[in-house]
Amino acid sequence: MRTVARLHRVWALVSVVSAAATVAGAALLVPRPAQAASTLGAQAATSGRYFGTAVAAGRLGDSTYSTILDREFNMITPENEMKWDTTEPSRGSFNFGPADQIVNHAQAHGQRMRGHTLVWYQQLPGWVSSIGDANTLRSVMDNHITTEMTHFKGKIYAWDVVNEAFADGSSQHRSSVFQNVLGNGFIEEAFRTARAADPSAKLCYNDYNIENWSDAKTQGVFAMVKDFKARGVPIDCVGFQSHFGSGGPPASFQTTLQNFAALGVDVQLTELDIAQAPATAYSNTVKDCVNVSRCAGITVWGIRDSDSWRSGDNPLLFDGNGNKKAAYDAVLSALGGGVPYGGGDSPTPPPSGDGGCSVKYTISSQWTGGFGANVEVSNLGDPVSSWTLTWSFGAGQQVTQAWNATVTQSGSNVTAKNVSYNGSLPTNGSTSFGFNGSWNSGNPAPTNFALNGTACTTG
Ligand code: 9MR
């Protein structure tokens, strides 16, 4: 018996060695595509971005889970562990244990952290939601922000300072104890307090259903960020949660990201998941980010389908066994394109004083009979407080819907006017707007743009 067992062992060893030799030989003869050697995090890093996931502390002991986590992801958001009900379950009594577990894991594996979240109407303990006195609530909120941020100081790349403060389908704040007791100013108060607590962390506003440019909620958040930037209220980034149906992102998502970025904030996709995870929907989403230079990175909301808060939708990049899905390959490949993070989304305009204007006209998508276009106009002359951009279509195209500008058309002549928030264009300032249109025989780009009557260069 002993001899037989030893023989088996020897044979097993020989098999392993010869299998390894075969694999090594094949690798020498048939070079694998470069992409196959990459991971989501490494591929995102080639353009200066990160690729992250939500992590649950309770799953770190699952080796399938942690193996994928450490191989693929270089940014981590705690799924629940930094929320108020966990971190301050009763007033002044803080519990950072579960979150520390995740932060320690991240530090040991070279991963950065997004902090999620300091002020949110959900997962909020009853002792907070029952406060009715403004002074008490203000001091409780500020103390919560300061204590939690101080605990993690220097370890967090970006904080979701305020989460989901806007009402669904509306440009107004939702009802919450913070809104109802402190009024509109609670968001500003939270951001100012956060900046003082950890000046090195990026401060984000995070929300869902703000991906479609024409939605009222998107416009409400946009107006808030614009106002914060104008008044010097500290804000560095906006998180677009990106919980999508199987169709993926709305057609205007890239425009939305670009318009927010143009306010001077980073944009991030913070909780991405897509029902049924179609490869194309994932690919489109990633492209919308990597085409915008201030889109800093993407976080998916969980690793395997079985880890997801919407597991019935199978919305993630790995199946329940930890195998890569088709969407994984689509994401990896889409991460390879785009512009560098922070690299500038448009060509540097000529020096001021040249006068005139330049226009970059991009057909962002085209299908039978229809197309979407983005128009970026740069003012190279004196500052203007309102603008009209005109052009004519050469092949019977017709604008059907526009955002970020009011567009009318008469015959082939198109007139686009600024909307309330983007009329002012300093010298060398630029703005973008988008539209959908129809076409039949052809869809050539217009060349005769004029800004307030002055001809523009194109390209
Ligand atoms: O994925 C989180 C889930 O485990 C929690 O039960 C839930 C509680 O509300 O929160 C989920 O995460 C949410 C995130 O914190 C904020 N945006 C929506 C996410 C999905 O509900």
Q: Is the pLDDT of residue 24 over 90?
A: no
* CA pair distance 443, 368, nearest whole angstrom: 11
- Contact between 157 and 112 (Cβ < 8 Å): yes
Instruction: Select which of 164, 189, 211, 376 is catalytic.
Output: 164
Instruction: Retrieve residue 175's tokens.
Output: 């009802």
Strands (E), 64-169: 75-78, 112-119, 158-163
Report which protein residue has its CA nearest ligand 1's atom 20: 309
- The one-letter amino acid code at 76 reads I
Best probe residue, ligand 1, of 309, 311, 316 (max atoms within 8 Å of C-beta): 309
Asked whether the predicted pLDDT for residue 80 surpasses 60, the reply is yes
Average the pLDDT over 250-264 and give the result: 96
Contact partners, residue 415, CB within 8 Å, separation at least 6: 388, 389, 390, 407, 408, 409
In this prediction the pTM is 0.71
Q: Any catalytic annotation for residue 271?
A: yes
> Which segments within 217-369 are labelled E, that is strand?
237-240, 243-244, 266-274, 295-300, 357-367
The verdict on whether 189 is a catalytic residue reads no
Does residue 57 surpass a pLDDT of 90?
yes
Average pLDDT of the residues of the chain: 90
Q: How many CB atoms lie within 10 A of CB 47?
A: 20
Best CA proximity match to 314, nearest among 271, 270, 275: 275
Task: Give tens-digit pLDDT for 102-124.
Answer: 999 999 999 999 999 999 999 99
Tokens of 31: 């070079």
What band does 380 get if pLDDT is binned at 50, 70 and 90? Answer: confident
CB under 6 Å to ligand 1: residues? 79-80, 122-123, 163, 241, 271, 309
Distance 83 CA to ligand 1 centre (A): 10
Closest protein CA for atom 14 of ligand 1: 79
The whole-angstrom separation of Cα 304 and Cα 324 is: 9
The atom number, within ligand 1, closest to the CA of 241 reads 17
With beta carbons less than 8 A apart as the criterion, state whether 78 and 270 touch. no
Would you report the helix, strand and coil content of the chain in percent, each value rounded to 5? 35, 25, 40
| 271 C-alpha to ligand 1 centroid (Å) | 9
Residue owning the nearest CA to atom 6 of ligand 1: 309
Least confident of 89-93, 322-326, 343-347: 343-347
